[in-house]
Structure 1
């Protein structure tokens, strides 16, 4: 892409507005449907589950961070990896819809776990590819991977503790 056609700060603002809207939807649904109380008051939770406020702010930060990474790849990325990375990041945003459906709307711990597991797998593929498009964006993707790994572990543990799932040694 010619330098004069590269996305500007306006596109970053659009990405951040989109990410903010998505976060508003997730947080609004979580609090309006009583999912927060359901998880923290009614379910068996792991001792290492972060408090609601910390989880919320970290989720917001991760989503806004992903929008920034998307812009970096869009603006500075190169080769076919640029388009593939942008597609994978967009797919990660869409994967949040699966988690919203399974965990927040259906209140199904198993569906929520599988949704976040798919998101984790997409994150791994993105992490492996994005560095080819833009090295700094590849480094910035690590916090997203760490966060998604933590949330996958939380979802698994919630499912295990509350559905009677028996796994040897756990």
Structure 2
């Protein structure tokens, strides 16, 4: 049996603090730059876009679950898949920065859609390896997958409704 130093609850708190800082940054930028008003007042939105507070709380929950999954893989993961899973989850946090840049800072619904599309593909790939590294962390990734899938659909609809994108039968 390997005797190695695995992260304690302190590292989980650090991961959660970093995730909370990231969600605070996104929320602060969204309100400070007026993107909230842009989305809810100026853009055509799909009927299933939830109210802002629900959207915010779900995004915070998703980010905190990702941090918990990262810690779980770090603490209990095994083999090479542990390291690959940790890299994948970290890349998911960076993918959020891509969406932040495209949608919130540039205010471009198309760039936001493509950023969330990349995030969706990365989520699927990460889920495959996270489940191999640690089953509990793999289960934690399902809400992340659900959220990313929902936001992919929302982003597509925002792009379709606001760029004149016409699809056959839609």
TM-score range for the pair, normalised by the shorter chain length: over 0.9
What stretches of structure 1 move > 2 A for 4+ residues in a row? 1-4
Corresponding residue of 1:84: 84
Cα-to-partner distance string for 1:58-83 (whole Å, 9 max, x where unaligned): 00000011000000000000011000
| Superposed counterparts of 1:65-80, under 5 Å | 65-80=65-80
In the TM superposition, residue 140 of structure 1 has moved relative to its aligned partner by 1.1
Confirm whether residue 55 of structure 1 aligns to residue 62 of structure 2: no
Task: State the alpha-carbon separation in 2 of the partners of residues 60 and 78 from structure 1.
Answer: 28
Aligned-residue offset at 1:3: 4.8
TM-score, L = length of structure 2 = 0.98
What is the alpha-carbon root mean square deviation over aligned residues? 1.1
Shift of 1:156: 0.4
Count of aligned residue pairs for this structure pair:
170
Distance 2:43 2:134 in 1: 42
Secondary structure of the corresponding residue to residue 168 of structure 1: coil
How far is the alpha carbon of 1:2 from its aligned partner?
Answer: 4.3
Q: Is there any run of 5+ residues in structure 2 with no aligned partner, and where?
A: none
Output the CA distance in 1 between the equivalents of 2:169 and 2:138. 35
Equivalent-residue separation in structure 2 for 1:3 and 1:103 (angstroms): 45
Once the two structures are superposed, residues 25-76 of structure 1 have per-residue CA deviations (whole angstroms, 9 ceiling, x without a partner) of: 1000001111011000110000000100000000000001100000000000
Cross-structure match for 1:116: 116
Can you give the 5+ residue segments of structure 1 that lack an aligned partner in the other structure?
none
Distance 1:2 1:109 in 2: 49
Residue 148 of structure 1: aligned partner: 148
Aligned pairs for 1:9-28 within 5 A: 9-28=9-28
Alignment partners' CA distance in 2, 1:151 and 1:62: 12
User: Structure 1 length as normaliser, TM-score?
Assistant: 0.98
Distance 1:17 1:92 in 2: 17
